[in-house]
């Protein structure tokens, strides 16, 4: 072989994928075999990246939304020169290796976002493209197009069936994300077989209705047709582009191509042999001839692109030093110098002033106080801005071209909103927040889970946190949601009891850096709680002694969160008066409290004190780990009802009398 053809280069991807799936005895060879030709043209002719520096900030972002075809991406990363040696491909899907069954951005260099749950990668990509748009508006200057990169997405029929793709595609069209290009792998096969029985949408028309440019009828196995389609896509105006690629799943397999037999199972030794013969691939498993390896190697071209950009950044910094410094800081993910001091001063002032407000209002106050010092903060609400109170005086709509645009009107799209927020976070340069009612976190939950899995610093704001929201009734009253969110690993859930705890929760979420935070706020007004400076400083530890027993060690501990802290304080006064030395522990974040050292946790919840009552307007079982079999929980283990919030609190037993009764029964 003198010079490899495009088909030869694509076949390298095919057979690395085939061989890896066969070695693992599990996986999805069909999609990589079907999309290899598209990937070859995109990665060799258009993708702007630097394998030696996968985190180069102005790189194009490539998203494999149909993440079950992960071997396509691992093959591309290996061939183009990323730090993913052939031994990792030989150990596909094996413990301790960098080639998991679905792409994970925290495991493998060059993987931009974690994909697998279909449609979410596509929504993340919309977040990437929005990030590029906003950064370009903020930082680019005439003659200095310092932010200029594209987002490319591979997606399949399954992604397009998922509702989240509809949510994200609609927003991408509305926002005019012209640097977003999606390739639809139109193979008409899913796990259950031919999709004619369950996926008959006119997908091109649907995307045109969303405001996308659609390139129809592309032969996904014709390199010239693919190249022409990409050229057309990048010449687009301010519209995202869907490239409709007709492909054959399992392309090249003589007996299984075009069927579900290649979707989620190895081809088998006999079929692999036949496929090698059919495609003229004369090389053994995991064997890539040098001439083909050279045809894929993108390291030198990547270094040249990155060096060119670095020189452009130097010129930009000379002309606009302040802007360059800010861009570099944001790219590094560092908070502005002095932010902690600003936040601490605000928290101290709140404690001194003692405002009596709903915690959703306290959340808005915190945004108003912090946002002027955080130009990277961008957020919005799922059509509930006036209820979630997510807007502040400096909010500017991202749908426009304002250099300081920072507010997102997501519409009624909780799942898409959260996944787009994840994309903003993972892209870099932004600290995103999103918001809806707590009960609708159910719509968003899998994207919250992905936030936590990736370690994406997205802030998920949830208001109307209990039966206390009142008249909307049980459809809108969260009961199990707090426990559900707390059970997600690496997800910090905060439910503050007043304005001070609300501000601390926001500060903690902003400073966290290695994962998401869920900030949960009330509709109803909450009393301010008195604290010493030392107590204020302990809030960030997730749980602390708000009010201690007098006259010795406590006989009883009341543990509460959010709106129930004030009721617990009322109960303490009655119990103290009755001769029971009572401690009140406010626990705004159980997740954070559980990470504290054993000594601190013992100082707050001493093992010797077995009489404990937890109080929260949510399911009771979660609290058993704190109160044990000896304690009691004042909670709610049924759905709510439609009535004013104060009526419901009395009806369901969230009163000082009920807490006293539970305590005295121990």
For 294-344, the pLDDT digits (tens) are 999 999 999 999 999 999 999 999 999 999 999 999 999 999 999 999 999
Tens digit of pLDDT for each residue in 428-479? 999 999 999 999 999 999 999 999 999 999 999 999 999 999 999 999 999 9
Give the 3-state secondary structure of residue 198: coil
Burial of 133 (0-12, 13-18, 19+ CB in 10 A): buried
CB of 124 within 8 A of CB of 419?
A: yes
If you search the block for the tokens 């052939």, which residue do you land on?
86
Tens digit of pLDDT for each residue in 228-279? 999 999 997 799 999 999 999 999 999 999 999 999 999 999 999 999 999 9
Q: What stretch of H or E contains 151?
A: strand 151-156
Tens digit of pLDDT for each residue in 117-164? 999 999 999 999 999 999 999 999 999 999 999 999 999 999 999 999
> What span, in angstroms and rounded, lies between the C-alpha atoms of 595 and 60?
37
Tens digit of pLDDT for each residue in 338-394? 999 999 999 999 999 999 999 999 999 999 999 999 999 999 999 999 999 999 999
Q: Where are the alpha helices (DSSP H) in 112-244?
A: 120-139, 157-161, 163-175, 203-209, 223-234
184 CB contacts (<8 Å, ≥6 apart)?
A: 155, 156, 160, 203, 242, 243, 244, 245
Q: What angle do CA 543, 545, 549 make, to 5 degrees?
A: 155
Tens digit of pLDDT for each residue in 285-299? 999 999 999 999 999
Total Cβ atoms within 10 A of residue 573: 14
> What span, in angstroms and rounded, lies between the C-alpha atoms of 254 and 274?
7
Active-site choice (376, 414, 501, 564): 414
Q: What angle do CA 312, 307, 321 make, to 5 degrees?
A: 30
pLDDT (0 to 100) of residue 308: 98
Q: Where are the alpha helices (DSSP H) in 474-606?
A: 481-486, 499-512, 533-538, 564-577, 590-594, 598-604
pLDDT (0 to 100) of residue 236: 77
> What span, in angstroms and rounded, lies between the C-alpha atoms of 16 and 79?
10
- Strand ordering across the sheet containing 61-64: 61-64, 151-156, 180-186, 241-246, 213-219
- Judge whether residue 632 has pLDDT over 70: yes
> In the annotation, is 414 catalytic?
yes
Cut 0.85: pTM above it: yes
- Judge whether residue 15 has pLDDT over 90: yes
Per-residue pLDDT, averaged over 546-556, amounts to 95
> What span, in angstroms and rounded, lies between the C-alpha atoms of 169 and 167?
6
pLDDT band at 10 (very low <50, low <70, confident <90, very high): very high
- Name which of 151, 173, 168 is nearest 239 in CA terms: 173
Percent of the chain topping pLDDT 90: 99
- Judge whether residue 213 has pLDDT over 90: yes
Q: Where are the alpha helices (DSSP H) in 176-222?
A: 203-209
pLDDT band at 1 (very low <50, low <70, confident <90, very high): low
Paired tokens of 480: 């199990």
CB of 98 within 8 A of CB of 77?
A: no
> What span, in angstroms and rounded, lies between the C-alpha atoms of 228 and 268?
36
The phi, psi pair for 151, rounded to 5°, reads -120, 125
Per the prediction, the chain carries an average pLDDT of 97
DSSP sequence for 373-421:
G-TTEEEEESS-IIIII---TT--BTTS--TT--EEE--S-HHHHHHHH
Per-residue pLDDT, averaged over 554-559, amounts to 98
């Amino acid at each position: 072989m003198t010079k490899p053809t495009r088909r030869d280069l694509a076949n390298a991807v095919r057979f690395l994928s085939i061989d890896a799936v066969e070695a693992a005895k599990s996986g999805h060879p069909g999609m990589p075999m079907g999309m290899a030709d598209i990937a070859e043209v995109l990665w060799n002719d258009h993708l702007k990246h630097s394998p030696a520096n996968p985190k180069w900030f102005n790189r194009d972002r490539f998203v494999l939304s149909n993440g079950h075809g992960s071997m396509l991406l691992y093959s591309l990363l290996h061939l183009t020169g990323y730090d993913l040696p052939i031994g990792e491909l030989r150990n596909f899907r094996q413990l301790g290796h960098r080639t998991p069954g679905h792409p994970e951005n925290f495991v493998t260099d060059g993987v931009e976002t974690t994909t697998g749950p279909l449609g979410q990668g596509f929504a993340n990509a919309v977040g990437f493209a929005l990030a590029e748009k906003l950064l370009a508006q903020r930082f680019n200057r005439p003659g200095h197009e310092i932010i200029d990169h594209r987002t490319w997405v591979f997606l399949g029929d399954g992604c397009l069936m998922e509702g989240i793709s509809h949510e994200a595609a609609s927003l991408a069209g509305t926002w005019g994300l012209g640097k977003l290009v999606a390739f639809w792998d139109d193979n008409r096969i899913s796990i259950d077989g031919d999709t004619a029985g369950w996926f008959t949408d006119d997908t091109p028309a649907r995307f045109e209705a969303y405001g996308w440019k659609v390139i129809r009828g592309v032969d996904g196995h014709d390199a010239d047709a693919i190249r022409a389609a990409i050229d057309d896509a990048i010449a687009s105006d301010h519209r995202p582009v869907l490239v409709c690629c007709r492909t054959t799943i399992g392309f090249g397999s003589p007996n299984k191509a075009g069927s579900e037999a290649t979707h989620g199972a190895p081809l088998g030794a006999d079929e692999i042999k036949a496929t090698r013969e059919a495609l003229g691939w004369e090389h053994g498993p995991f064997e890539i001839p040098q001439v083909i390896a050279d045809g894929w190697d993108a390291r030198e071209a990547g270094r040249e692109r990155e060096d060119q950009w670095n020189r452009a950044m130097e010129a930009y910094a000379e002309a606009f030093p302040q802007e360059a410094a800010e861009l570099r800081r944001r790219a590094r993910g560092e908070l502005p110098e002095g932010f902690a001091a600003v936040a601490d001063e605000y928290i101290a002032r709140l404690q001194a002033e003692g405002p009596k407000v709903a915690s959703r209002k306290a959340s808005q106050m915190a945004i108003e106080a912090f946002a002027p010092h955080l130009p990277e903060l961008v957020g919005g609400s799922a059509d509930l801005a006036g209820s979630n109170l997510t807007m502040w005086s400096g909010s500017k709509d991202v749908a426009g071209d304002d250099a300081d645009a920072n507010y997102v009107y997501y519409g009624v799209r909780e799942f898409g909103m959260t996944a787009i927020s994840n994309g903003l976070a993972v892209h870099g340069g932004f600290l995103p927040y999103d918001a809806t009612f707590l009960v609708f976190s159910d719509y968003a939950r899998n994207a919250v889970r992905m936030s936590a899995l990736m370690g994406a610093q997205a802030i998920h704001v949830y208001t109307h946190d209990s039966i206390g929201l009142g008249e909307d009734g049980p459809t809108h009253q969260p009961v199990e949601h707090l426990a559900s969110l707390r059970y997600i690993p690496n997800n910090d859930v905060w439910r503050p009891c007043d304005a001070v705890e609300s501000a601390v929760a926001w500060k903690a979420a902003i400073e966290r850096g290695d994962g998401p935070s869920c900030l949960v706020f009330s509709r109803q007004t909450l009393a301010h709680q008195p604290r010493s400076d030392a107590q204020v400083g302990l809030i960030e530890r997730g749980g602390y002694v708000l009010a201690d027993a007098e006259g010795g060690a406590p006989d009883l501990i009341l543990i509460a969160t959010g709106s129930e802290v004030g009721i617990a304080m009322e109960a303490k006064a009655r119990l103290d008066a009755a001769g029971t030395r009572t401690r009140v522990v406010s626990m705004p974040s159980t997740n954070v409290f559980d990470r504290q050292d054993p000594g601190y946790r013992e100082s707050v919840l001493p093992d010797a004190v077995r009489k404990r009552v937890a109080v929260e307007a949510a399911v009771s079982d979660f609290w058993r780990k704190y109160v044990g079999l000896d304690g009691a929980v004042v909670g709610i283990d049924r759905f709510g009802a439609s009535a004013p919030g104060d009526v419901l609190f009395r009806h369901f037993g969230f009163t000082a009398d009920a807490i006293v009764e539970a305590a005295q029964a121990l």
